Structure 1
Amino acid sequence: MTEPTRIPERSGTAFLLPAGALLEVIDPKGVQVADLLAFNADDVGEAISSGRTFDYAETIYLTTGHLLYSNRSRPMLEIVADDVGRHDFLLTPCSADTFRHFYPDQPVHRGCFGNLAAALAPHGITEDMIPSAFNCFMNVPVDGETGKLRVLPPISKAGDKIVFRAAMDLIIGLTACSAFDSNGGSFKPIDYRIVSSENVESN
């Protein structure tokens, strides 16, 4: 098996993921979030949609067996394995505005939004096209009475991963999250590995 590719702390990347291939998103050191976006590689107007996904899943807690849908109600990714079982699809990627709002005493960082925008720009994806991300490993409990959200440290341990299967040819944006609260107050890398459909079928 090929070695995973590392995304350094507080940075992001974008890459093509062919239909049928697996994407493993790995938390190599534990307690670190990865923001994930997906766009149809043949038409970037079709993008991952939290609202459509929640509609069809009928839950906000997504894990093995759930599909992540596009804004056109088509499956984009299937979660086929999940070591953690707690991820977030409610909150948008952190940004410079996020830092000004939540961390006024900290240096402003462009955050996952800025990292995703820079990585996706060569694919013709602009800032205004960036939707809410699927936040791998992010721990956002919701109070059942008030609906209030909290951002707690991820429960992921070193080496934990979530695995997706692509339902169409995709452009993926992926980060090692930059927000303090999301990652337990420290910043760590994220690893990812693509397993081609040919290798999937041969296993």
Structure 2
Amino acid sequence: MSLPRPARSVTTANEISPRTGVAFPLRRGHVLKVIDPFGVQVSDLLAYNAHDVREAISNGRTFDYEETIALTAGSRLWSNRSNPMLTIAEDTVGRHDFLLTPCSEATFRHFYPEHPVHRGCFGNLAEALAPYGIEPDMIPCAFNLFMNVPVAPDGTLQVAPPISKPGDYIRLRAEMDLVIGLTACSAYASNGGSFKPIHYAIETDSPA
């Protein structure tokens, strides 16, 4: 007779207000679930080794070891020291970006001169991560959840609205003790021209 699988123990869902960011610890084996509650909203994710924040998520190492830029369920996200940091356990969207850097004040001056300058995801992440000893120059390219960046055959990049629908989510399992930075993205093109919240929860006992 098979035993029932343990129920997931999930923290209360947290909300990241539009155009803001947060940081928090994520223990090894726990699962971070990031939800797009209203659809068409990007969330920038950063990860650092909680015991040595000089070890950080790396898009280059990830592309190298996963041999793809199309990261989804089953893919691992690697560190600059070639260690797996997160494994994508479940993904209802299947389209994310790991090519483009977090938007910043410079981004807004460059791409959106007709709009007020905003500190963007970079500024939000810098403020949220500062209590963990992470300085602005330690912020790498983020894993941009739900971001839709088609790459043309000639290599040209386009930022298109996300294909995520209300309630879509991604679940990522921590492979080491981590500090996570997470935003509700601030850039116009990334989010189809509007700004919405992002929800997240931590599953402390997951069968995945």
Structure 1 or 2, whichever has the larger Rg, is: 2
Aligned residues: 199
Q: Secondary structure at the match of 2:206?
A: helix
Structure 1 position 164 matched with structure 2 position 168: no
Aligned-CA RMSD value = 0.9
Aligned to 2:195: 187
Q: 2:206 aligns with which of 197, 200, 203?
A: 200
Q: Secondary structure at the match of 1:94?
A: coil
Aligned to 2:68: 59
Structure 1 position 5 matched with structure 2 position 14: yes
Q: Which runs of 5+ in 1 are unaligned?
A: none
Structure 1 position 47 matched with structure 2 position 53: no
Q: Which amino acid letter does the alignment assign opposite residue 132 of structure 1? A: C
Q: Secondary structure at the match of 1:200?
A: coil
Q: 2:147 aligns with which of 138, 141, 164?
A: 138
Distance 2:206 2:126 in 1: 31
What is the CA distance between 1:113 and its match in structure 2? 0.1
> Deviations for 1:55-110, whole angstroms, at most 9, x for unmatched residues?
01111110000000000000000000000000000000000000000000000000
Distance 1:125 1:71 in 2: 15
Distance 1:64 1:156 in 2: 15
Distance 1:132 1:3 in 2: 29
Distance 2:81 2:94 in 1: 26
Where do 1:18-37 residues align within 5 Å?
18-37=27-46
What is the CA distance between 1:200 and its match in structure 2? 1.7
Aligned to 1:153: 161
Distance 2:66 2:149 in 1: 18
Q: Secondary structure at the match of 2:38?
A: coil
Q: 2:184 aligns with which of 172, 176, 186?
A: 176
Q: 2:111 aligns with which of 102, 106, 112?
A: 102
Q: Extract structure 1 runs of 4+ deviating beyond 6 A.
A: none
What is the CA distance between 1:3 and its match in structure 2? 3.1
Q: Which amino acid letter does the alignment assign opposite residue 177 of structure 1? A: C
> Deviations for 1:138-159, whole angstroms, at most 9, x for unmatched residues?
0000011x10000000000000
Q: Secondary structure at the match of 1:122?
A: helix
What is the CA distance between 1:41 and its match in structure 2? 0.1
Identity in percent: 68
TM-score by length of 1: 0.97
> Deviations for 1:14-39, whole angstroms, at most 9, x for unmatched residues?
00000000000000000000000000
Distance 2:138 2:28 in 1: 22
Distance 2:100 2:182 in 1: 15
Q: 2:90 aligns with which of 65, 71, 81?
A: 81
What is the CA distance between 1:2 and its match in structure 2? 4.0
